[in-house]
Amino acid sequence: MDTSPATDEAAPWQDTRLSPAERAAALVPLMTLEEKVAQLVGVWVGADASGGGVAPHQSDMTGPPGELEWNEVIRHGLGQLTRPFGTAPVDPVAGARSLAASQEQITAASRFGIPAQVHEECLTGFAAWKATVYPAPLSWGASFDPELVEEVAGQVGRTLRAAGVHQGLAPVVDVTRDYRWGRTEETIGEDPYLVGTIGAAYVRGIEGAGVVATLKHFAGYAASRGGRNLAPVAMGRRELADTVLPPFEMALRLGGARSVMNSYAEIDGLPVAADEELLTGLLRGDWGFSGTLVSDYFAIRFLERLHGVAADGGDAARLALRAGIDVELPTVDTFGAPLIEAVKAGEIDEALIDRALHRVLTQKAELGLLDADWKALPEDVQGLRLDDETGQDLALRLARESAVLLRNTGGILPLAAGRRVALVGPVADDPMAMLGCYTFPAHVGPHPEHGLGVDIPSLREALGGMVPDLTYTKGCDITGDDISGIAAAAAAAAEADVCVLAVGDRAGLFGRGTSGEGCDATDLRLPGVQPELVRAVLATGTPVVLVLLAGRPYALDADADAAAAVVYGFFPGQRGGQAVAEVLTGAVDPSGRLPVSVPRDAGGLPSTYLSPPLGRRSEVSSVDPTPAYPFGHGLGYTTFEWSEAGVRGPAEWPVDGEVTVEITVRNTGSRPGTEVVQLYLHDPIAQATRPVVRLVGYVRVPLEPGRTARVSFTVPADVTSFTGARGRRIVEPGDVELRFGRSSAETAATVPLRLTGAEREVGHDRKLLATAGVTAEGAG
């Protein structure tokens, strides 16, 4: 292969003066069927076939070591390399050199010398040994801070790029619909506006670093029946259009994601991996998406094995290609020999392969992988560090902003100096309690001989450095039925001035944890005998600060009302212990807000705040779904006064225009603090039932004591749109309210408005965002 820069004599597909699409179009007709198909598959080297895998049915889908001979696999080229850093512990520098060597073999083995596109998981940072572990996505949502999330993602993207990785399998922009689902921890929250704005910010960070962001899981995955992983989804078109799809639209239009991964789920009997109307008609036709659509791991074979809609591998490949999937991950299977045989037998049109191939090669051209001067080894590989001071600082900042103070009676927090503090609970001295299931230690581990790879202080370690008179008693395990340690824990609490009781989850996969992929729950009680521990400690009469470190919201019933304070952390990452300790001691003022409601009852599910009137407490049902703490709730250590709410200009709001509403916020306390001003839409009369309120804007407002700010939101009428009675998205004229809220359930001020004009149909090009502004006004 000629490795000189592109010239007039260079092959057109190597000519950087042409557009990526033109270069791809020049290469497609030169390739044999086998060379084409090779670009549509990944290879997962080193995948575990023992049954302790990291993907559904991995032990069934991954053959024994050596079954796929490397030289045979790459002789026609290779589309993707699957997780060379994320499959087993590997030193970063050695891993980058090994990856470069593999790429050199791939380019040397095939006729066109095209490198593989390398992908890795990056939901909580680069999922590799010795890489910074950031807070889980529910923490992103709890921060209500897209700017910080974008900064975090930018650092993650630069780290991936420095190691030779081209594509990250994140973010998850599924909207949580049932908290029992084990993958709730991977979602950003239960509101599509929050998920979409935060998800788009993560995409901008990843893409801004030159790495392809992959939106997961298109679409409906989080709405599975009973919160069970891969279970069928029973969903109407309005729920799909108005709740599930908008975050994907936002992440594509506002973030610029270049890849999408299909959902494993079926919607109304049709598996998404075979849904041509959704993957091609909507995603590419209506929305204009031109990037790559990659399969979730083994999802194409699942059309045969799990869904029963394909007769064999070739039939599954036909359905997936026709639907619009371009690349089979994680490793070559149905898009290998079964696809080639089906094409040669006339069962699959080769034009479908060419369509997918053009998209794949276009993206490779965008990434520089078709350039004649491409180099396998990244620059400065010898100095490669995946966990540096910049990453650690960002992880700490996000963990601090995402800690949510739910309750604080009697000013028990911050912990006063000189008090005897008993630290109790199974997650109090467990570094793994800080980590979600897509962190390397939880996802791939355990590898005791290698350790965690990064320093992860537990809550005990962090709090012990701030509270001199601290005792610790475990009390019980996260799971199991052993209650023998509860009495000692209660005794320790009884002897203290304050007890910090830390309970929650341990992330894992497929039943190896209490939260995570395949770790679904039958109800929302704390796992194991932790409820008994909570009751025993509360019964001592010692003031209790209940700390939850978890991947889902657990029910806080009447027992928890006896807690003096409640703090929630959603798998806050490697610096989460420090962040929570700083919140408890007052070194940091808590400013997180709930991205999911915290239920009062462990049953009566599913229920989120996005409910029409009859989805809430009513006289026609004996079940009260009112949460213990609503979406958007969160306290701090100072107080804020909200006043002078109003509309800037007339209260008439054209259906094709925008309106600006504003409110004054003043810090009336003695400490600096951050208020999160939330804006909700209430549409009292509509042609289809609507949520009582839904989020349409938010902004963080940091204020020093006595200082005041004027907060404004300019809201396009398009943001009020919904799927009307005839199945089209409309802006409907009529009376509405914009409500300034401290949470979805606590309204500080209401601005009545009237949408004027004729009913207006809107599409994918509608305006998606309200614009927030904060103007400092000095002392109040």
* Cα(50)–Cα(59) distance, integer angstroms: 6
Phi first, then psi, for residue 594 (nearest 5°) are: -65, 125
Relative to beta strand 673-682, strand 694-703 is: antiparallel
List the single range of 43-52, 142-151, 725-734, 751-760 with lowest mean pLDDT: 43-52
- Per-residue pLDDT at 448 exceeds 90: no
Q: State whether the Cα torsion 535-539-540-546 is positive or negative.
A: positive
Query: If you ran DSSP here, which 8-state letter would residue 567 be given?
Result: E
Q: What is the mean pLDDT of residues 659-683?
A: 98
Amino acid identity, position 35: E
pLDDT band at 50 (very low <50, low <70, confident <90, very high): very low
Can you tell me the mean pLDDT for 235-252?
97
* pLDDT score of 62: 56
Instruction: Give the integer Cα–Cα distance in Å for 333 and 79.
Output: 13
Q: Is the predicted pLDDT of residue 436 greater than 50, yes or no?
A: yes
Residue (of 587, 545, 536) closest to 569 by Cα position: 545
- 709 phi, psi to nearest 5 deg: -140, 145
DSSP secondary structure letter of residue 702 = E
User: Does the CA dihedral 477-483-488-490 come out positive or negative?
Assistant: positive
| Alpha helix (H) residue ranges in 146-191 | 146-162
**How large is the greatest C-alpha to C-alpha distance in the chain, in angstroms?**
84
Measured distance CA(567)–CA(590) in Å, rounded: 9
Q: Are 108 and 384 in contact (CB under 8 A)?
A: no
Question: Which position has the token pair 């408890």?
Answer: 584
Phi then psi for residue 715, to 5 deg, are -115, 115
Q: Following DSSP, what letter does each residue of 266-323 receive, concatenated?
A: EETTEEGGG-HIIIIIIIIIIT---SEEEPPTTHHHHHHHTS---SSHHHHHHHHHHH
Distance CA 773, CA 582 (A): 30
**C-alpha–C-alpha distance, residues 631 and 256, integer Å:** 28
What SS3 state is found at 598?
Answer: strand
Report the alpha-carbon distance of residue 203 to residue 247 in Å, rounded.
12
- Rounded mean pLDDT of 550-575? 95
Rounded distance between C-alpha atoms, residue 696 and residue 469, angstroms: 46
Residues 575 and 582: their CA atoms lie apart, in Å, by 11
H helical segments located in 437-496: 440-443, 459-464, 486-494
What strands lie across the sheet with 259-262, from one edge to the other?
42-43, 80-82, 117-120, 167-168, 212-218, 259-262, 292-294
Q: How far apart are CA 695 and CA 678, in angstroms?
A: 7
Scanning 508-613, the segments in alpha helix (DSSP H) are 530-538, 576-585
Mean pLDDT taken over the chain: 94
Task: For 712, list phi and psi in degrees, rounded to 5.
Answer: -125, 150
Could you give the percent of the chain with pLDDT greater than 90?
A: 89
Residues in Cβ contact with 447 at an 8 Å cutoff, skipping those fewer than 6 apart: 88, 89
Q: Could you report the per-residue pLDDT of 623-663, keeping only the tens digit for each?
A: 888 999 999 999 999 999 999 999 998 999 999 999 999 99
The set of residues, in sequence order, having a beta carbon less than 8 Å from that of 231 and lying 6+ positions away, is 224, 225, 265
Q: Would you call the peptide bond into 441 cis, given omega within 30 degrees of 0 as the criterion?
A: no
pLDDT tens figures, 482-538:
999 999 999 999 999 999 999 999 999 999 999 999 999 999 999 999 999 999 999
**pLDDT confidence of residue 777:** 87
Q: Which residue has the higher pLDDT, 478 or 448?
A: 478
Q: What is the pLDDT of residue 445?
A: 72
- The predicted structure's pLDDT at residue 63: 53
Cα separation, 254 vs 338, whole angstroms: 38
Q: What is the pLDDT of residues 352-408, one digit of tens each?
A: 999 999 999 999 999 999 999 999 998 889 999 999 999 999 999 999 999 999 999
For helices 313-323 and 350-366, the axis angle rounded to 10 degrees is 60
Residue 497, beta-bridge partner list: none
With the CA atoms of 450, 454, 460 and 462 taken in that order, what torsion angle do they form, in degrees rounded to the nearest 10? Answer: 160
Counting residues of the chain whose pLDDT is more than 70, the rounded percentage is 95
Classify each residue of 103-139 as buried b or exposed e, where b means 16 or more C-beta atoms within 10 Å of its C-beta. beebbebbebbbbbbbbbbbbbbbbbbbbbbbbbbbb
**24-34 pLDDT per residue, tens:** 999 999 999 99
Reported confidence tier of residue 600, pLDDT bands at 50, 70, 90 = very high
pLDDT by residue (tens digit) across 64-77?
Answer: 434 458 888 999 99
DSSP string, 364-419: HHHTTTT-TT--SSPTTGGG--SS-HHHHHHHHHHHHHH-EEEEEGGG--SPPTT-
